[in-house]
Structure 1
Amino acid sequence: MSMNLYPGFGLLLVDDEPSYLRSLSIALERSGGINHLHCCQDSRQVMDILARENIGLVTLDLTMPHLSGEALLRRIVEEHPDVGVIVISGLNQVETAVDCIKQGAFDYFVKTDEQSRLIEGIKRAIRLQELRQENLALRQRFLDDTLEHPEAFADIITDDKGMRSVFQYLESVAPSSQPLLIGGESGVGKELIARAAHALSGRHGPLVCVNAAGLDEGVFADTLFGHERGAFTGADRPRAGMVEQAADGTLFLDEIGDLNPASQVKLLRLLQDGEYYPLGSDRPKRARARIVVATHHDLEACQREGGFRKDLYYRLRTHQVQIPPLRRRRGDIPLLLDHFLAEAADELGKPRPTYPPELPVLLGTYAFPGNVRELRAMAYDAMSVHRSRTLSMAAFRRAIDPGLAGSEPSAEASIERHVFAPDEPLPTLHEVADLLVREALQRAEGNQSIASKLLGISQPALSKRVKKLRESGAEPL
């Protein structure tokens, strides 16, 4: 099985000492999981490699025969300004370091320094290069308003601009190995977004899904990290955890906001170190899966209130998307309704029905607290009792309860938030009533039956008000 390369761009190591190149390559792969490496001993070949390969970062020795590191630095900055350069020198000279930084080097290290400092510096430079490339790609996609891989989103039924922006962002960050945080209310389709992110990543491994809600510390550790034989009573044989099963793929942790504090610490260590210990083992294993998490909680508020670790929150939010609720993309309701009715009809062995044109209008007035999942349940329930050619609206009315089918948030909250200008006269009750009638008719697309239910009055009463509006010369819509 082919292994995923990290980072997505190549890292070119340039040094005339083959032993140093070999030791640095081994250290980067073992300690940093960095395996997308190119090595070069002859400084004269560097520019040809940059022209031929997708190189994003170069580590450059200063003292080399043929072409010095300083001369190479100037050429790389001039001809390949998008490539980052880290200078590694055998000399600890402040003036030389400052001069290299002025010329455009990202950082400067001395070979005699601790190797861990150098590796952390390289990892930091890789993250910054990834963010720069993602920003460029995202900006280009927004300017072009294009999707390079629309097939990755085929399972997500939408025609909403907000969702399209989410798709464009996912395409930009998909190659990254950094965590992805998916936020959104229950039922908006966060797992579908995780599947799309995995499909876009091009990773060879599988997508492994784990629901973190309700897992205590022991179960969480065993589920993610696995165990060795004899680790606890009943552990008769070793078992690979989900992290290992998702190797070279994606590990999706759903409902991450419900994770208990002890498990949050374990996840933080996994993200920080890239290593984990199976239960009962004293030998670490390197994680080769990308972490994608989802939650319906507001993690920023949770970490402010102390319910979620700040350091873990900032680790997880490197890349993040917020899926808009269905009430904010009402244009998707007819598309989703058609899809779910057809799906339910096929599953139940019934012909696909037609439905009254008022049905999408009625559903458009509902807040859908359960989002897409709730609409799907409505469609399946309506199809299960469907008998005639035209689908009845009765099942949808029962589910919605029109007396409570206001928009989100409640009408009372909307009124409380409305502030009248203190230096202007208040509108009369008659004027306010006319405004409410117009708003209800607009939301109901002119359907007086639905508009009257939104206003909590009978349809004849609404008809009288509409008639008075027309007699006064004002159009209700």
Structure 2
Amino acid sequence: MNVISPNNLSTVLVIDDETRSQDAIRRTLDEDFNVLTAGSADEGRAVLERQQVAVVLCDQRMPGMTGVQFLKEVRERWPDVVRIVISGYTDSEDIIEGINEAGIYQYLLKPWLPDHLLDTVRRAVDARSLQSDMHRINLELRTSAPVLRARAAERQAVVRDAFDFRRIVRAPGSPMDQVCEIATRIARYDLSVLVLGESGSGKELLARAIHYASPRAPRAFVMENCAAMSETLLESELFGHKRGSFTGAYEDHVGLFQRADGGTVFLDEIGDTSPGFQVKLLRVLQEGEVRPVGATRAIPVNVRVIAATHRNLEEDVRAGRFRQDLYYRLAGMTLSMPPLRERSGDIPLIADALLQQASRELGKPAIRFTPGAVAAMMAYPWPGNIRELRNEIFRALALSDSDEVAAHAFSSKVLQGQPGTTTLNGRHAPGHAGIPQSGTLQERLDAIEAVILKETLLRYRWNKTHASKELGLSRVGLRGKLVRFGLEEK
């Protein structure tokens, strides 16, 4: 038996009567753990009485008693120690019979693979560490429960406020006002919601706002992009799986539906799922229970489902690409997110919020966009919506040499604009960065001036005093220009 080392939560005790087996295991684990060895149950017991050990690795066949018999004793006397038994194929039935009574974490068959042994012990040590943390947390909870409850309530209030519908950036009169109004009304009811809209239009943000405005807000909000993985992986991720149910399933996995029990599951890009998965999801929604892959029993779950897609699901239903019964299960209420090109009045405010975010994340000071930059952003149709706008702003700030972001920092596609972009007073006209391709020079200059006036007023929430100060105009001069360009009535 080797010399006992100081206490260590990463200490592993190996009990095997064969010295060669001890040495092989030691060589596999030595770089990551403090490895102690013992040649019998009596020697192992002596180590445990003097030494703090995280994991016991025990051979099944030992003189005097079996590994399972010894691990039963370990469970009674040292319940925090994680127990692993190693055996040959002929001993597996005896181990299975005693695995619950001994509380064995896992058993390994000979000949074991070094990588598998190392991975198993790592997970066992992590489990021990997690168990210790849970004991500590439980003790803290018992001694300071009132304080923690108060802090939890404060954190919940902060989260609710962060995802409130008011935090969805938009200008007065935005098309998003009606969407948010309807979503606010239905949030308190346990209806399934289907959110339609182009990629990057903010469907996830709306789903979070619905969750945190609902009675389910104290529980989890989880999300999964259904287009990002295969049917098998998606089923495992959402519904869970049992250890050994397929190749690579080394341990039980709790699915997102179970983790969100009492809360909300957001399924993004639901329209891209396979017919096979649609059948399984429909069964979950109808029966209110999930069956993990490889499990024999279903588990009841209570979740609200919010689904989203960029596809036209009604058309997919007619074409047979999407199940009609699942569609009606998901579409208890349907909300349509307008693309950014249809809410150009929101662009200055959204861009300003993204600029402040970029400033914090990149560590670069940023005060404002130049009028030319705003005009360029409002002239471009943003096919990638808010996600594309965010990327352009981060790029522009990274390339800017001052605290102002100018139009030349944007990519060429934004500077060139696209046909059909919104310009003066919401009318559509082809052009480059908001400049019409036809008309006199004065008419083109008027178009640019109108865009700048509109952007400035939107940014200051139509406060004419602040807007006139920034533009270097008197209030009378500003009002005259608003009347001239037909903006005063707004």
What amino acid is aligned across from residue 364 of structure 1 in structure 2?
M
Pairwise CA distance, 1:261: 0.9
**Structure 1 equivalent of residue 317 of structure 2:** 303
Identify the range of structure 1 (386-395 vs 193-202) with the bigger mean alpha-carbon deviation: 386-395
List per-residue Cα deviations over 1:366-410 (Å, max 9, x = no partner).
1110111111111111110111343221122524141635438xx
Cα distance in structure 1, aligned partners of 2:446 and 2:196: 31
**Structure 1 equivalent of residue 185 of structure 2:** 172
What's the TM-score once normalised by structure 1's chain length? 0.54
Aligned mate of 1:200, from 185, 193, 213: 213
What amino acid is aligned across from residue 189 of structure 1 in structure 2?
G
**Structure 1 equivalent of residue 364 of structure 2:** 350
Larger radius of gyration: 2
**Structure 2 equivalent of residue 373 of structure 1:** 387
Aligned mate of 2:170, from 147, 158, 162: 158
**CA distance change for structure 1 residues 268 and 439 in 2, over 3 Å: closer, same or farther?**
farther
**Structure 1 equivalent of residue 11 of structure 2:** none
Cα distance in structure 2, aligned partners of 1:257 and 1:213: 8
How is 1:118-133 mapped onto 2 (pairs within 5 angstroms)?
none
**Structure 1 equivalent of residue 397 of structure 2:** 383
List per-residue Cα deviations over 1:160-189 (Å, max 9, x = no partner).
432121111112111222311111111111
Instruction: List alignment gaps of at least 5 residues for structure 2.
Output: 1-159, 423-427, 430-436, 453-483
Secondary structure at the counterpart of residue 292 of structure 1: strand
How is 1:261-276 mapped onto 2 (pairs within 5 angstroms)?
261-276=275-290
**CA distance change for structure 1 residues 391 and 185 in 2, over 3 Å: closer, same or farther?**
same
Cα distance in structure 2, aligned partners of 1:367 and 1:330: 9
Contact preservation (8 Å) 2:380, 2:417? no
Pairwise CA distance, 1:154: 4.6
Contact preservation (8 Å) 1:214, 1:259? no
Cα distance in structure 2, aligned partners of 1:312 and 1:443: 49
Contact preservation (8 Å) 1:155, 1:192? no
Secondary structure at the counterpart of residue 253 of structure 1: strand
Aligned mate of 1:285, from 294, 299, 317: 299
Contact preservation (8 Å) 1:210, 1:253? yes
Matched, 1:249 2:260: no
**Structure 2 equivalent of residue 97 of structure 1:** none
Matched, 1:239 2:239: no
Matched, 1:404 2:424: no
Matched, 1:322 2:356: no
Secondary structure at the counterpart of residue 263 of structure 1: helix
Cα distance in structure 2, aligned partners of 1:152 and 1:188: 17
Contact preservation (8 Å) 2:373, 2:405? no
**Structure 2 equivalent of residue 140 of structure 1:** none
Contact preservation (8 Å) 1:149, 1:200? no
Contact preservation (8 Å) 2:379, 2:417? no
Contact preservation (8 Å) 2:373, 2:407? yes
Cα distance in structure 1, aligned partners of 2:232 and 2:373: 49
Contact preservation (8 Å) 1:378, 1:399? no
What amino acid is aligned across from residue 336 of structure 2 in structure 1?
Q
Cα distance in structure 2, aligned partners of 1:437 and 1:255: 47
Contact preservation (8 Å) 1:205, 1:249? yes
List per-residue Cα deviations over 1:243-298 (Å, max 9, x = no partner).
10110000111111111110111111111221221112222221211111111111
Aligned mate of 2:196, from 174, 178, 183: 183
Cα distance in structure 1, aligned partners of 2:195 and 2:358: 28
What amino acid is aligned across from residue 208 of structure 2 in structure 1?
R
How is 1:21-100 mapped onto 2 (pairs within 5 angstroms)?
none
Cα distance in structure 2, aligned partners of 1:296 and 1:287: 28
Pairwise CA distance, 1:202: 2.3
What amino acid is aligned across from residue 169 of structure 2 in structure 1?
I
**CA distance change for structure 1 residues 356 and 233 in 2, over 3 Å: closer, same or farther?**
closer
Cα distance in structure 1, aligned partners of 2:416 and 2:213: 41
Contact preservation (8 Å) 1:213, 1:258? yes
Instruction: List alignment gaps of at least 5 residues for structure 1.
Output: 1-147, 409-413, 416-431, 449-474
List per-residue Cα deviations over 1:29-84 (Å, max 9, x = no partner).
xxxxxxxxxxxxxxxxxxxxxxxxxxxxxxxxxxxxxxxxxxxxxxxxxxxxxxxx
